[in-house]
Amino acid sequence: MGRFARSWELVKASVAVLRADHRLLVFPLMAGVCTMIVSASFLGPLALGGVLDQFENAQRPWWMAPIMFLFYLVQYFVIFFFNSALVGAARIRLDGGSPSVRDGFRIAASRWTQILGYALIAATVGMILRAIEERAGFIGRWIAALLGVTWTMATFLVVPVLVSGNVGPVDAVKQSAELLKRTWGENLTGNVGIGLVSGLAIVAWVMMSAGLVALATSTQSVAAVIAAVAVGIIGIVTLSLVQSALQGVYAAALHRYAQTGDAGIGFERALLADAFKLKA
């Protein structure tokens, strides 16, 4: 229970850091916008050309595979770039500074080649998992899901490693996996805790929004219905942004402690005192 209690305290500390610097929310917001633009630029032309109708067809054109790989590569690069900016800015905050949005982008831009390399690795893994899922049927979907979860956990600290050190993407993956062996409890519980709280908040917001929409519908006012739907969407987007930002702060704090023995401003040293001790 000590491990789980400590992890919950780390999540609360992450919330305090985010509350102290709302600018950190800019990075997941821009990441969301850019990923939608990338999706539209790839999928839009395919949809208009009727190619997507063949996507689930086993006889789909051979050139769909390289296009899908390129799509994965660009999407992952965008996501990792903005995550790197978020983690970089969070590191400055944890060091006691006051980061600007420009600081975050400056840090990410200085690591763009490493980020691209990691995106290449992630895109390759994504294509392999998709191939397993498609070719092995029901069992393949379970195997792909299990491998996907394992990969996500093992690479949780890759972005902080890339941001804080002059290492390549392969070494960053190795370091992240090594840290997972010693911090699996903090890694898993922190992420599950953030996801669970965020998920419950989103469900509660959806239920409230549904009630508002129903109430607005009863008034037979189009403007009221539109306003109620808008409130619901804005709330869900905001909660999703907060979740992404919290995960970035949490990852930055975990990795900072691994490097310096101190998680930074807002985190008590005792919270992570046992997290990185080698297990017997």
> In one letter, which amino acid is 230?
A
| Range of weakest confidence among 58-67, 76-85, 212-221, 267-276 | 267-276
Residue 261 has pLDDT above 70, yes or no: no
Residue 188 has pLDDT above 50, yes or no: yes
pLDDT of residue 118: 95
How many other CB atoms sit within 10 Å of the CB of residue 123? Answer: 20
The whole-number average pLDDT for the span 88-95 is 89
Contact 106, 89 (CB under 8 A): no
**What average pLDDT does the structure give for the chain?**
80
Could you say which DSSP state residue 52 is in? G
Measured CA to CA, the distance from residue 198 to residue 182 in angstroms comes to: 26
How many other CB atoms sit within 10 Å of the CB of residue 228? Answer: 22
Measured CA to CA, the distance from residue 154 to residue 138 in angstroms comes to: 25
pLDDT of residue 60: 63
Residue 116 has pLDDT above 90, yes or no: yes
Q: How far apart are the first and last CA of the chain?
A: 19
The whole-number average pLDDT for the span 227-242 is 83
Measured CA to CA, the distance from residue 55 to residue 52 in angstroms comes to: 5
pLDDT of residue 56: 55
Residue pointed to by tokens 């067809």: 57
Rg (CA), the chain: 21
The larger pLDDT score, comparing residue 121 to residue 14, is at 121
How many other CB atoms sit within 10 Å of the CB of residue 203? Answer: 10
Query: pLDDT tens-digit profile of 207-232?
Result: 888 888 888 888 878 888 888 888 88
pLDDT of residue 55: 55
